[in-house]
Amino acid sequence: MKSLATLSTGEVFPGAKSYKKLEAKLSQLQYLNRHKTKFSNNWKKAQLKIAQLHNRIANIRRDTLHKRAYLLG
């Protein structure tokens, strides 16, 4: 997503770059989990960390949208 919103006046509101900032960490976690035995305890712990990071990315996007909603409405 390049921008959160663009008004008819041409004013552009930048979006959160949460994925770009955390992409390297996500990649590292997924890389480390790649060779673990599926459904082992260590695999489950690694999957939980990956899920938490995805949740953090989603929360950053949601927070940005919530904070900027008053500008758009």
- Whether 22 contacts 53, CB under 8 Å: yes
CA distance readout (Å), 59 to 35, 40, 43, 64, 66: 29, 28, 24, 8, 10
Strand, coil or helix: 55? helix
Q: For tokens 């979006």, what's the residue? A: 15
pLDDT, tens digit, for every residue of 6-60? 777 888 877 778 888 899 999 999 999 999 999 999 999 999 999 999 999 999 8
Q: pLDDT at residue 61 above 90?
A: no
pTM: 0.76
- CA-nearest of 60, 72, 70, 69 to 16 is 60
Q: Provide the residue type at 70 as one letter.
A: Y
Residue 71 pLDDT class (50, 70, 90 cuts): low
